[in-house]
């Protein structure tokens, strides 16, 4: 059959030339052509350009982003800045739009109580109406990407249509090009598709105008995302968190895991080995700082696919090759690796920061801030206020940097390994001031799943006006879990049980405080918790059994602190941090149980573990007659 048949509307619109048609025909896949034809006809761009893996094509994208003003050059070679739309401090396009991000649900399908959903037919009718003509007078770019290393059993393919060259350029830093991978599909429709438009633009630099019509709709049935009237990467790059939702749906109907995980290579001193760990942490709970620990290596900082491997381990890959990182508080002293990468010549995109004389500034960078410059509100001066009288900071709190991981000095050599890396352990990190110890090892894999399902992140008075409210987020993934929680947990349980060497599981908490409200942990103490976990994976250290899991022995931590931080770790430090706080732990179990009671079909192992932990804690309280039990009281 003539493949041009599937491009009939595009050809009739006279928006694509023969060279670009040939690029599409070379894929020999009518499913791809049907999608392109449908959405080009709907969105009505003035031109369609197909980007392959060639360097000339990729250079075209970056040059067009600069030519159109979507990015502006900065003083350092390779550095550019992008600004997203801003109306006021409460109405802008500089963070994920949770309100208008919805999963399309057909009648009779599971409807999560934790995420926004909309009837599929209603949602499609709404967004397709908004997208009608949304690319008018714009160039539509057709992109092909590989989520994961090339030539890998882990990886999924992603087709993206967008009219934003900033989005395209960001994707070239964050993802592996996949045109040649698509050619290997041999006519299959096994790929995700993402259609994005920034919509009508206004101003210089050009930003999205109609934020009131911003929509981000996820269609699980078709493995597709439709997103319009936005530019911010978290809303526009379908391959990022939007694809995570599609991958979670796919993986939980197969035999693997798609997780909100970093992948860290741990290199203990004096040991000729590297051990790989995944880690899931809600926002502001230490995910990035753990992934970027000094003298360790990074495979990925955000999303991982895990599959059982023929060596009996779970292997993991980073679906990305870059970092879209929050730049707030990145400074020379605390983040030397990132600081070096983003202050020296290399391809880097900054977003929503302050610029003066080609120099970027952001919140918490440790430098003297200019009193004027250009930022997301266009011309900025110190003490500038928005239309509601709220002060506009020189940089947005969610300002970002985008860079390839290979540009970091701590990039792991296995970043692109098609077989992934064997996972020795998984960290689940939460934030609480008075309950969990800094690190705790699970009794077994199923208890580890329970620990992941029990992650809580404590809010502060600075964010909601009331301190100490704990929000649960299973596996730090609640915003993205589009399958029933019971099914999600059951699949985790089954995944580990299929492995000869399931990862050890550890819960971490870097935010314990004393009665005066001061943190009990230093900023880099987490390095010692991670190194202890790595040693446990290899049998280097013993542990103390408590009712809630295994904790380190004081003597081992004392040596780790001396050898790695040149720091004295006292018995007083240890006792304050690793005491078992019985009533606080029981209260946590009750909160978690109440949350899961809102879900149907939560697997029985979850309730059994919760009951067992509750019984052990009550027995300990009865035996000791006190509420807080020192780690030195355990044998």
Q: What is the rounded distance in angstroms from the CA atom of residue 336 to the CA atom of residue 292?
A: 10
Q: What is the rounded distance in angstroms from the CA atom of residue 431 to the CA atom of residue 284?
A: 8
Q: What is the rounded distance in angstroms from the CA atom of residue 404 to the CA atom of residue 174?
A: 6
The torsion angles phi and psi of 118, rounded to 5 degrees, stand at: -150, 150
Q: Give the pLDDT confidence score for residue 458 in this predicted structure.
A: 86
Tell me the pLDDT tens digit for each residue of 547-558. Answer: 999 999 999 999
What parts of the chain have a pLDDT lower than 50?
461-465
Q: How does strand 504-509 pair with strand 421-430? A: parallel
Q: How does strand 439-441 pair with strand 378-381? A: unpaired
Q: Give the pLDDT confidence score for residue 466 in this predicted structure.
A: 54
Tell me the pLDDT tens digit for each residue of 8-58. Answer: 989 889 999 999 999 999 999 999 999 999 999 999 999 999 999 999 999
The 3-class SS string of 290-317 reads HHCCCCCEEEECCCEEEEECCCCCEEEE
* Residue 121: C-alpha distances to residues 103, 110, 115, 124, 192 (Å): 12, 15, 18, 5, 20
CA dihedral 110, 115, 116, 120 (to 10 degrees): -30
Q: Give the pLDDT confidence score for residue 108 in this predicted structure.
A: 87
Q: Which fold, 258-321+415-633?
A: Phosphoenolpyruvate Carboxykinase; domain 3 (3.90.228)
479: nearest Cα among 226, 271, 216: 216
Length of the chain measured in residues: 635
Tokens matching residue 10:
């595009």
Say whether 40 sits in a helix, a strand or coil.
Answer: helix
**Count of CB atoms situated within 10 Å of the CB of 63:** 12
Tokens matching residue 171:
């994707």
- For the domain made up of 324-407, the CATH class stated in words is mainly beta
* Helix (H), strand (E) at residue 47: strand 47-50
Whether 285 is catalytic: yes
**Count of CB atoms situated within 10 Å of the CB of 68:** 16
Q: What is the rounded distance in angstroms from the CA atom of residue 363 to the CA atom of residue 380?
A: 15
Q: What is the rounded distance in angstroms from the CA atom of residue 611 to the CA atom of residue 323?
A: 41
Query: Which residue in 43, 140, 285, 528 is the catalytic one?
Result: 285
* Residue 89: C-alpha distances to residues 70, 216, 333 (Å): 21, 21, 30
- For the domain made up of 3-68+96-251, the CATH class stated in words is alpha beta
Q: Give the pLDDT confidence score for residue 174 in this predicted structure.
A: 98
> Max alpha carbon distance in the chain (Å)?
82
Tokens matching residue 605:
């192992």
Could you state, in order of their start, the residue ranges of all structural domains in the chain?
A: 3-68+96-251, 258-321+415-633, 324-407
Q: Within 13 A of 85's CA, how many CA atoms are on the CB side? A: 26
């Amino acid at each position: 059959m003539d493949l041009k048949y599937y491009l009939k509307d595009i050809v009739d619109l006279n928006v694509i030339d023969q060279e670009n048609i040939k690029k599409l025909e070379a894929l020999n896949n009518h499913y791809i052509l049907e999608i392109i034809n449908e959405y080009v006809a709907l969105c009505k761009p003035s031109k369609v350009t197909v980007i392959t893996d060639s360097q000339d094509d990729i250079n075209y994208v970056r040059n067009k982003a600069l030519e159109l003003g979507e990015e502006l050059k900065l003083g350092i070679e390779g550095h550019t800045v992008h600004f997203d739309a801003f109306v006021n401090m409460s109405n802008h396009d500089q963070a994920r739009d949770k309100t208008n991000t919805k999963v399309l649900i057909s009648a009779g399908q599971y409807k999560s109580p934790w995420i926004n959903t909309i009837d599929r037919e209603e949602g499609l009718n709404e967004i397709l109406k908004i997208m009608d003509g949304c690319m008018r007078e714009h160039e539509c770019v057709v992109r092909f990407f590989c989520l994961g290393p090339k030539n890998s059993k882990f990886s999924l393919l992603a087709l993206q249509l967008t009219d934003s060259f900033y989005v395209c350029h960001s994707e070239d830093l964050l993802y592996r090009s996949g045109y040649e991978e698509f050619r290997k599909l041999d006519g299959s429709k096994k790929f995700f598709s993402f259609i994005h438009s920034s919509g009508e633009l206004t101003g210089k630099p050009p930003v999205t105008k109609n934020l009131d019509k911003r929509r981000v709709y996820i269609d699980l049935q078709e493995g597709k995302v439709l997103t319009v009237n936005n530019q911010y990467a978290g809303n526009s790059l379908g391959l990022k968190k939007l694809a995570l939702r599609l991958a979670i749906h796919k993986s939980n109907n197969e035999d693997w895991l798609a997780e909100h995980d970093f992948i860290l290579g741990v290199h203990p001193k004096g040991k000729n080995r590297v051990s790989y760990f995944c880690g899931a942490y809600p926002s502001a709970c230490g995910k990035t700082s753990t992934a970027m620990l000094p003298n360790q290596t990074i495979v990925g900082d955000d999303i991982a696919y895990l599959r059982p491997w023929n060596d009996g381990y779970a292997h993991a890959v980073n679906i990305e090759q870059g970092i879209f990182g929050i730049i707030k508080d990145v400074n020379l002293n605390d983040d030397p690796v990132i600081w070096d990468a983003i202050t020296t010549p290399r391809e880097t995109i900054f977003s929503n920061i302050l610029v003066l004389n080609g120099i970027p500034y952001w919140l918490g960078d440790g430098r003297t801030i200019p009193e004027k410059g250009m930022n997301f509100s266009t011309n900025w001066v110190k003490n500038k206020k928005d239309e509601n009288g709220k002060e506009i900071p020189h940089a947005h709190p969610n300002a970002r940097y985008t860079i390839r991981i290979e540009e970091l000095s701590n990039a792991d050599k296995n970043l692109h390994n098609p077989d992934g890396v064997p996972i020795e352990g998984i960290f689940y990190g939460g934030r609480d001031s008075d309950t969990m110890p800094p690190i705790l090892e699970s009794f077994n894999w199923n208890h580890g799943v329970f620990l992941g399902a029990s992650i809580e992140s404590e809010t502060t008075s600075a964010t909601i006006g009331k301190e100490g409210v704990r929000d649960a987020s299973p596996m730090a993934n609640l915003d993205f879990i589009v399958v029933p929680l019971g099914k999600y947990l059951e699949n985790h349980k089954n995944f580990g049980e299929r492995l000869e060497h399931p990862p050890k599981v550890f819960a971490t908490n870097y935010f314990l405080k004393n009665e005066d409200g001061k943190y009990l942990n230093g900023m880099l103490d987490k390095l010692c918790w991670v190194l202890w976990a790595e040693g446990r994976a290899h049998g280097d250290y013993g542990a103390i059994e408590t009712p809630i899991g295994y904790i380190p022995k004081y003597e081992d931590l004392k040596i780790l602190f001396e050898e790695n931080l040149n720091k004295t770790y006292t018995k007083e430090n240890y006792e304050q941090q690793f005491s078992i706080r019985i009533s606080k732990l029981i209260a946590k179990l009750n909160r978690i149980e109440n949350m899961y009671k809102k879900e149907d079909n939560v697997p029985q192992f979850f309730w059994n573990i919760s009951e067992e932990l509750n019984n052990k804690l009550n027995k300990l309280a009865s035996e000791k007659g006190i509420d807080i039990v020192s780690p030195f009281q355990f044998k």
